[in-house]
Structure 1
Amino acid sequence: MLNHLESGNSAAARVSVNRLRFVQETFGSGLLYQKEIKSEKYDLDKATKDSRAQEGLSIIQEELDGLTPTAAYDDAFSHWLQGLYFFRMGDGASDRERARKEFTAAHALIKSCPAIEADLAECEAVLAGGSPTQRVVYVISETGICPEWREQRVDIPLFVVAMRVPYVSVALPALRPVGYDYKLRVQLEGKPVALALASRTEGLIAKHFEAALPGIKARAFTSAAVKATASYILNKSAETSANRQNSGSGAALFALATKIGTAVYTVGTTKADLRNWGGLPARFSLARVGAAVGAPLTIPGHPELSLALPEGKVLLVSIKSTGENKPITLRCTTLVP
C-alpha cells in the first residue's frame, strides 16, 4: 500500500487497503497459524523436554526473545496508513469515520507517536464539523533490515526399545536478528525533525512466527519421528537378519543398502521451510510537520541529501536506508494537490 501511495496510484492504494484489512483480520484470528496437533504416534511433550532437544529449541527462543522485548502487538503503522488514506484521500463522511477507527486503533497500540495522536485529534475535529489542516507534511523513514530466516537443527529422541536412545535431527525454521537500531537524522529548514517509532516490523514478524511455531514444531517432530522410527526398525531387522545368517555377503549387503537408503530418506525429509518475505525494513518511524512551499528538508551525512518541498495540501516524504553508511533513498510525493 505504501508503495502505491508513493507512486501516486490512489486506485491501487484503495485495493491494497482492502487486502491489508483482510490480512490483519486473518492474522488476528489466528486462522493462518498451523495449529499444534496431538499425535498418538509420538509423544511431543516428552520429546520437547528432552535435554538434547532443548539445546536447539532454546537457541530459537533466545533469538525470538531478542526480537520481541515487549508483549505489545506492534502493528500501529499499518492502521495509521489506512487512516491516512481514508482521511486525506477518501470520499465523504463514511471514509472519515473509517479513518477515525484506524487512527484510534493505531493510537491504542502505540501512544508515543505524536503524528498518530495529531491525526486522530484532527480527524475527530473534522467529523465534528471543523476544517482540515490546509497543509501537512508526513515524513516516513524505513530503516534497518528484518531478521533473516535460517535453519536450526534440533535433535529429538525416538521412543523405541534400545540400549541407547536413538535421535534424529530435525530442521526447524528460525529467525536471526540482523543489524542494530539505526536512527536517521532529518532536518527541516535546518532544525531537527523528531521521528517517532510507529512500528517494529521485525517484532511483528517475530510475534507471528512465535505464534505459529508450536504447530510447525509439532508437525515437523511427528513426521520426522515416525519416518525415522520406521527406518530404525527396518535397519535393526536387517541387521538381525544378517547376524542370523552369519553375516553372509547377500544379507550384509542388504543391511548396508537398507541403512544407506533410510538415512538418505530421513535427511531428505527434514528440511525447514524458509519461504518467506525478505528485505523488509526493521522499523517504520513517522513525523508530521508543517512547512512552507520550497522549505528544504535535509538528511545530514556523507553525502548530504536534500529536497525542496513542493506545493500541495498533503505531502509524503519517504526516506529509506538499511543501515548507517548505507545508501539512502529520499523522495517526496504529493498525495493531495
Structure 2
Amino acid sequence: MHTSIPTRQASRLAQIASAVALVFLATGCATYQAQTQQFAQATKSGGLASSIAQIDEKANKATGSKDELVYRFEQGATLRFAALSDLSQVPLPPAQPLAPQAAPVDPAAPVTPVAVPTWAEVQKYYLNRSIAAFDQAEEKVNFWEEQSKVKVGSEFGALVSNQASLPYRGRVYDKVMMNTYKAISYLELGEKDKARVELNRSLQRQRDAVAANEKRIAAAMSDAEKARNGELKNEDGKSASYDSQKALNDPKTGPALQAALNASIAPMKPYGDYVNPFSVFLDGLFFTVLGEGGSDFERGRKSFERVASMVPENSFLKADLDAAALAAEGKAPEGITYVIFETGTAPTRDQTRVDIPTFLVTSKLSYVGASFPKLQYNNDYIASLGVTAGESTVNTATVASIDSVVANDFKNEWPTVVTKTLITTATKAIVQYGVQKVAEDKGGMWGGLAAGLIMGAVNASTNIADTRTWISLPKEFQYARLATPANRELTLTAGTTTKTVALEPGAVNVVYVKSASPSAPLLVSAFVLK
C-alpha cells in the first residue's frame, strides 16, 4: 500500500506533464521547411496552379498568426510569377457576365455567355493580387517595426520553447524585395508614380538596416548580461547565472558553431551590409529612363555606379553607367531592350545540432543538444539565359546573387541567434531539472522518472531552430541589355527551351523572365518602360 501513493502521484504528474507537452506540441513544432515542403516542390517544378492554391490556403489560415508575414511574402511572389505565365498555366479570374442577367423566363433558354478574359486582363488580375498580398505583408512589417521602437511585450515564452515560436517579423532582404517586387509590378501596370514610391521605400529600408541590426545586437547583449547576472534559476530554485561567452569559448561548442556558420556563408560576396544589388540596379534603371529632372538623373547615375562597383564582372553595367551620364546631359536612352532573368530558388533553412555546455548552470547535465539554423543552397538552376536578336546572341549576366544577400543577412543575425539559443537551452535545462526534482520530492523515484521523461519529450519537441525564410525568391537576378532589333522580336534560350517574344513599340522595353529550375516552364512577360 505504501508504494501505491507515489505511483498514483507519479501517474497524476505524468498526466499534468503530458498536458503541458501537448500544449507545446500544439503550438507547432514542425520546422518551416517541413511545413512548406509541398509548396516548395510545386514552386521548383513550375506547377503554378498548385503553388497558388497551396499558398493562398496557407496565407489565409495564417492570418493573425505568428507566421502570417512569411506566408504573405510567399503569396505575393507566387502571384507575381502567375502574371508571367500563360492562360494554360494558371487559374483564370472569376468570370464576369457580358451583360446583366434578367430573371430566367424559360429554364431551357440559353445561358447568358460570360466574358473570356484576355491574357492582359489575367496578367493585371494577378499583378494586383500580388500587390495586395505584399500590401498585407507591409502592414505587418510596419507594425513590427513600430513595436520594436517602444519595446512592447516579452520574449520569455521563447526561453522555454524556441525562437521559432516568436512572430516572424521579416528580415531586411525580405522587406527590400517586398518593395522591389511591388515597384516592378507597378511598372508593368504602367503606374510609374507608385513604382517610384516603392523604390524610395526599398532604398530607405537598406539605409535603416544597419541601425536596426545594431539595436538587435544590443538587445541580445542585454539578454546575455541578464543571464550572466543570475536572473535564471537553477534546479534548487536558487539564482543561477549563464555566461554565453564562456559557452562560446568551450572547446567543444565554439568550433562547432563556427563550422556551422562558415558552411552557411560560404557563397557570400562583398556586396556590403544589407545591400541588394538588384534593387539598386532597378533604382538606376528607373531614374535613368523615367527621370524627371537633374536630381533624378543623378540618382540613376549613382545607383548604377554603386551596383557596378559591387558587380564589376557584369559588362552590361558599364554601358548603363555611360547611358546614365548621357541622360543627365539630356540624351535619354532610346532603342534599348532589357531582359531581366530570375533563375533558381533562394536558400532554404535547415537546422544543425550543436552540443551546448549547461554545467555552467546545472550540475545534473554536462551538455545539451541545441538546434541552430543553417543555410542550404539550391544549385539546380539555369546558369544564364541566351537572348538572340537577328544574328546576334548575348547571355544574361548576374547582377545580384540572392544566395549572397541571404548569407550576408545570416552572418549579421548569427550572434543574436547564438546568444538567444544558448540562453534558451540553459533555461530549458533548468526548467526540466526543476520540474523533475519537484516531482521526485513529491512522487518519489517514479514521479521523478515520469516527469523527466515527459519534460525530456517536451524539450525534444521544441528543440527546433527558426527555419522560416522566403523560399520562392530566386537564386540570382541576371540581366542583359541590347539594341532593340528592327523586327522587334527576341528569341530566348534556356537549356533546350526556346521562346520568341514580340516587343511592343517603345523607346525602352523590358522582358521579364522567370525560371525556378531547369525542369520548370519558362515564364515570360514583356512591357514598355518608356
User: TM-score, normalised to structure 2's length?
Assistant: 0.56
**Residue 354 (structure 2) aligned to one of 145, 154, 164:** 154
How big is the shift at 1:54? 4.8
Deviations 1:275-308 (A, max 9, x none): 3212111111121111234333112354421112
SS in 2 for 1:31: helix
**Residue 110 (structure 1) aligned to one of 308, 311, 325:** 311
SS in 1 for 2:317: helix
Residue in structure 2 matched with residue 77 of structure 1 by the alignment:
278
Query: What amino acid does structure 2 have at the position aligned with 1:13?
Result: A
Query: What amino acid does structure 2 have at the position aligned with 1:98?
Result: R
Q: Residues 243 and 360 of structure 2 are in contact (CA less than 8 Å); yes or no, is this contact kept in structure 1?
A: no
Deviations 1:131-153 (A, max 9, x none): 22322111111111111112222
Q: Residues 153 and 171 of structure 1 are in contact (CA less than 8 Å); yes or no, is this contact kept in structure 2?
A: yes
**Residue 323 (structure 1) aligned to one of 517, 520, 524:** 517
Query: What amino acid does structure 2 have at the position aligned with 1:282?
Result: K
**Residue 332 (structure 2) aligned to one of 113, 128, 132:** 132
Q: What CA distance in whole angstroms lies between the structure 2 residues aligned with 1:162 and 1:94?
A: 62
How big is the shift at 1:112? 2.4
Q: Residues 139 and 288 of structure 1 are in contact (CA less than 8 Å); yes or no, is this contact kept in structure 2?
A: yes
How big is the shift at 1:261? 4.1
**Residue 194 (structure 1) aligned to one of 374, 395, 406:** 395
How big is the shift at 1:55? 6.9
Deviations 1:229-258 (A, max 9, x none): 34235535755x48xxxxxxx423321233
**Residue 94 (structure 1) aligned to one of 284, 288, 295:** 295
Question: Could you say if the C-alpha distance between residues 185 and 268 of structure 1 is closer, same or farther in structure 2, counting changes exceeding 3 Å?
Answer: same
**Residue 484 (structure 2) aligned to one of 291, 302, 305:** 291
Question: Could you say if the C-alpha distance between residues 91 and 62 of structure 1 is closer, same or farther in structure 2, counting changes exceeding 3 Å?
Answer: same
Q: Residues 154 and 169 of structure 1 are in contact (CA less than 8 Å); yes or no, is this contact kept in structure 2?
A: yes
How big is the shift at 1:192? 1.5
**Residue 175 (structure 1) aligned to one of 375, 387, 390:** 375
**Residue 416 (structure 2) aligned to one of 215, 234, 247:** 215
RMSD, aligned α-carbons: 2.7
Q: Residues 289 and 332 of structure 2 are in contact (CA less than 8 Å); yes or no, is this contact kept in structure 1?
A: no
Q: What CA distance in whole angstroms lies between the structure 2 residues aligned with 1:231 and 1:163?
A: 13
Q: Residues 265 and 411 of structure 2 are in contact (CA less than 8 Å); yes or no, is this contact kept in structure 1?
A: no
SS in 1 for 2:445: helix
Deviations 1:43-78 (A, max 9, x none): 22332243543575255224323321x434363221
Q: Residues 173 and 274 of structure 1 are in contact (CA less than 8 Å); yes or no, is this contact kept in structure 2?
A: yes
Query: What amino acid does structure 2 have at the position aligned with 1:175?
Result: L
**Residue 121 (structure 1) aligned to one of 322, 325, 330:** 322
Q: What CA distance in whole angstroms lies between the structure 2 residues aligned with 1:63 and 1:9?
A: 43
User: TM-score, normalised to structure 1's length?
Assistant: 0.86
SS in 2 for 1:186: strand
Q: Residues 293 and 311 of structure 1 are in contact (CA less than 8 Å); yes or no, is this contact kept in structure 2?
A: no
Q: Residues 315 and 335 of structure 1 are in contact (CA less than 8 Å); yes or no, is this contact kept in structure 2?
A: yes
Q: Residues 42 and 225 of structure 1 are in contact (CA less than 8 Å); yes or no, is this contact kept in structure 2?
A: yes
Deviant stretches of 4+, over 4 Å: 160-165, 236-239
How big is the shift at 1:263? 2.2
Q: Residues 42 and 226 of structure 1 are in contact (CA less than 8 Å); yes or no, is this contact kept in structure 2?
A: no
Q: What CA distance in whole angstroms lies between the structure 1 residues aligned with 2:320 and 2:351?
A: 42
The answer as to 2:203 corresponding to 1:21 is yes
Higher mean Cα deviation, 289-298 or 196-205?
289-298
Residue in structure 2 matched with residue 260 of structure 1 by the alignment:
453
How big is the shift at 1:104? 2.0
SS in 1 for 2:265: helix
SS in 1 for 2:501: strand
**Residue 279 (structure 1) aligned to one of 457, 466, 472:** 472
Higher mean Cα deviation, 46-55 or 13-22?
46-55
Q: Residues 293 and 309 of structure 1 are in contact (CA less than 8 Å); yes or no, is this contact kept in structure 2?
A: no
Deviations 1:156-178 (A, max 9, x none): 11125888853222222221111
Q: Residues 276 and 400 of structure 2 are in contact (CA less than 8 Å); yes or no, is this contact kept in structure 1?
A: yes
Which blocks of at least 5 consecutive residues in structure 2 are unaligned?
1-182, 229-240
The answer as to 2:197 corresponding to 1:11 is no
Q: What CA distance in whole angstroms lies between the structure 1 residues aligned with 2:197 and 2:361?
A: 59
Q: Residues 6 and 316 of structure 1 are in contact (CA less than 8 Å); yes or no, is this contact kept in structure 2?
A: no
Q: Residues 327 and 333 of structure 2 are in contact (CA less than 8 Å); yes or no, is this contact kept in structure 1?
A: no
How big is the shift at 1:118? 1.9
Higher strand share: 1
Q: What CA distance in whole angstroms lies between the structure 2 residues aligned with 1:304 and 1:162?
A: 64
Residue in structure 2 matched with residue 246 of structure 1 by the alignment:
none
Q: What CA distance in whole angstroms lies between the structure 2 residues aligned with 1:7 and 1:180?
A: 32
**Residue 143 (structure 1) aligned to one of 343, 350, 356:** 343
SS in 2 for 1:12: helix
Question: Could you say if the C-alpha distance between residues 254 and 164 of structure 1 is closer, same or farther in structure 2, counting changes exceeding 3 Å?
Answer: closer
Q: What CA distance in whole angstroms lies between the structure 1 residues aligned with 2:512 and 2:283?
A: 17
Higher helix share: 2
Deviations 1:169-223 (A, max 9, x none): 2222221111256222222224221322111011101111111111111011112
